[in-house]
Amino acid sequence: MKDKLKILEATGLAVHLCSGKKRMPLLRDVSLSLEPGEILGVVGESGAGKTMLVRSLAGLLSPPARVTAGKIRYGGNSLDYTDPAAWNSLRGRGIFVMFQSAVQALNPSLTVGRQLLEAVDVGRRAGPGKAMSTGQDPGLPESQSRKADVDQIGELLEAVGLSPDLAGRYPFEISGGMKQRVQVATALALRPRVLIADEPTTGLDPVNQEVILGLLSALNRDFGTALILVSHDIRAVACLSRRILVMEQGRVAEAGYSDQVVSSPRSAAARQLVENMIQLEKGACPCRILN
């Protein structure tokens, strides 16, 4: 019964860079759990292993990196690291990753509208009520079907504060903040059960930081999407998440409720993050709009 309460779990996860008989550890004995509709924060300095954890949880590790120990469960079912087809069927509607580099996340050869249309198509195939969909009749004339798609893409862009005219642009023609909003719009189309946001505000100005965190919070609140928020900014993570996982050198240095970790950090890694937060307190907190 306990497994059924968790949408995503990792137990004793270890990842190594493997070359012949040589192994370099990247993740060591990492365990976490995520309940449906929960927001979990993962924090740590650069090089702590956060992005490697993200890629592991989404089945996106590339050789020579591979999982060498531990289990990952989705909805109580164990996932096979060596079965790409199973991971491909899970990613998108099951687990959606919002990458730190929106430049890498978006296809430079396709317009924003075309990429959103692909997400709408996936959501439409998920069935009624599963994802944002036009609900159009497949028997509609092509002109009406196309208009429904255009309207749907416009609604997605407007939902994240962008003009529908942006649909005709290519990723290189829009700003970093806009690219991140397009990633959120993609998540809106899919409405995944789990969204992993890897450093979603890095490199953005304070206004766009607020916008992105507000949109992620709304996705969680309005659609029940469980969220793993990965960041080096413990201020932003503490604002949104109920629990925090602090990582250091590929290990979990500390785990607990957000208020406890921030007010009484036990590990050196958590204390350092809190000290950094205190030094920045005079600046605008990127999640102040949520308070």
Q: What is residue 216's three-state secondary structure? A: helix
Calculate what percentage of the chain has a pLDDT beyond 70: 86
Is 170 or 101 the better-scoring residue by pLDDT?
A: 170
**Average pLDDT of the residues of the chain:** 86
211-238 average pLDDT score: 92
194-211 average pLDDT score: 88
Per-residue DSSP letters for 35-80? -TT-EEEEE--TTSSHHHHHHHHTT---TTEEEEEEEEEETTEEP-
Is 115 or 100 the better-scoring residue by pLDDT?
A: 115
150, 207 in Cβ contact below 8 A?
no
What is residue 285's predicted lDDT score, i.e. its pLDDT?
57
Q: What angle do CA 107, 176, 41 make, to 5 degrees?
A: 95
Tokens at 59, concatenated = 């089945």
* Dihedral over Cα of 131, 132, 133, 135: its sign: positive
What letter represents residue 263's amino acid?
A: S
175-193 average pLDDT score: 91
- pLDDT for 280 beyond 70: no
What is residue 129's predicted lDDT score, i.e. its pLDDT?
39
What is residue 100's predicted lDDT score, i.e. its pLDDT?
80
Classify residue 263 by its DSSP letter.
H
pLDDT band at 131 (very low <50, low <70, confident <90, very high): very low
Tokens at 189, concatenated = 């189309």
pTM above 0.85, yes or no: yes
What is residue 283's predicted lDDT score, i.e. its pLDDT?
56
Cis peptide before 64 (omega within 30 of 0): yes
- pLDDT for 242 beyond 70: yes
- pLDDT for 139 beyond 50: no
Cα 212 to Cα 229: distance, rounded to the nearest angstrom: 12
Lowest mean pLDDT across 48-52, 155-159, 277-281: 277-281
Cα 159 to Cα 279: distance, rounded to the nearest angstrom: 35
- pLDDT for 284 beyond 60: no
What is residue 93's predicted lDDT score, i.e. its pLDDT?
87
What is residue 135's predicted lDDT score, i.e. its pLDDT?
41
Cα 213 to Cα 218: distance, rounded to the nearest angstrom: 9
153-180 average pLDDT score: 93
**β-pair type (39-43, 243-248):** parallel
153-178 average pLDDT score: 94
What is residue 219's predicted lDDT score, i.e. its pLDDT?
92
Nearest to 198 by CA among 25, 61, 7, 41: 41
Domains for the chain: give ranges and CATH numbers: 1-94+193-291 (3.40.50.300), 108-191 (no CATH)
What is residue 282's predicted lDDT score, i.e. its pLDDT?
58
The predicted-structure confidence for 97-106, as pLDDT tens digits, reads as follows 998 876 778 8
- pLDDT for 227 beyond 70: yes
How far is the first Cα of the chain from the last one, in angstroms, to the nearest whole number? Answer: 35
Cα 159 to Cα 181: distance, rounded to the nearest angstrom: 9
What is residue 148's predicted lDDT score, i.e. its pLDDT?
80
Is 281 or 70 the better-scoring residue by pLDDT?
A: 70
Q: Which H or E element spans position 19?
A: strand 8-19
What is residue 101's predicted lDDT score, i.e. its pLDDT?
75
- pLDDT for 126 beyond 70: no
DSSP lists the bridge partners of residue 198 as: 230
* Dihedral over Cα of 93, 208, 176, 133: its sign: positive
Q: What is residue 8's three-state secondary structure? A: strand
